[in-house]
Amino acid sequence: MTLPIYDFSGKVAIVTGGGTGIGAAIAETFAKSGAQVVIAARNAERLEARAAAIGHGCAAIAADVSDEAQCQSLVAQTVERFDQLDILVNNAGGGRHASIAKFRTDKWLAEFDLNMHSAFYCARAAAEMMIGQGGGAIVNVSSLAGMHGTMGVSAYSAAKAGVQMFTRVAAAEWGPRGVRVNCVAPGMIATELAEANWAKTGFDGVAASKGFPLRRPGRPQEVAQAVLFLASDAASYITGEVLAVAGGPQLKGMIEV
């Protein structure tokens, strides 16, 4: 049974990067909670297949959210189709592995376009609509790398840190006009893509997570539940916050416990 505060019936949500992994889990969770969901990503064919799998009237709009005009079009198409927009989840993102010394400038800029600028483009377009209708909620998806940094993914870490600061400033600016803006920062999440990469490189995600208090990688659905909370009436007095979804703080002590 859905609790009233988690009942999104009559709400419209956009989830970028909604075709795979965490984004797909977020979209499915909103759809099961009653929302009309629009998923966006670049691969139209894969996106349509995902929308069909999610069901519940999930709609697919192909868009490259690293392009400002396509972000504006995404919001406009959603409003044209459903007459409103209540929730935006800026989930699109990704990073490449390279040392700073070997990071090509064009690749660096492209990662900022995908991970940070896309959130700005979509949020600004969505906020204009939300303010006009009296309010809404935006949830940005950052990363634990944006909180602590990760060697080998410098551009991704820096861009995701930027998303967190953008969240705080946007919350301050738009809060008086009824728009809440929050952020989740996932840690090691066992998406299908992550597990495929771990198998390819020989990385043992389970062993690596033994240093986490919860002793395991996270699941996409666990990130989705955090996003659902921040978008819901249960978080009606929360804005400008960054919620880590990472299995707990990785602390080292002076004694064995």
Consecutive 10-residue averages of pLDDT for the chain (257 residues): 80 97 97 97 94 96 97 98 98 92 95 97 98 97 94 95 98 98 95 84 86 92 98 97 93 69
CA distance 166 to 77: 25
Q: Cα separation of 134 and 186, whole Å?
A: 30
Helix (H) or strand (E) holding 119: helix 118-133
State the Cα–Cα distance between residues 73 and 50, nearest whole angstrom: 21
Task: Please tell me the predicted confidence (pLDDT) of residue 2.
Answer: 56
Catalytic residue among 6, 121, 156, 237: 156
pLDDT for position 220:
96
The pLDDT of residue 68 is 97
What's the pTM value of the predicted model, to 2 decimals?
0.94
Distance CA 4, CA 9 (A): 10
212's tokens:
């986490």
Q: Taking a C-beta distance cutoff of 8 angstroms, is the pair 12, 44 a contact?
A: no
Whether 121 is catalytic is no
185 vs 243: CA distance, rounded Å: 6
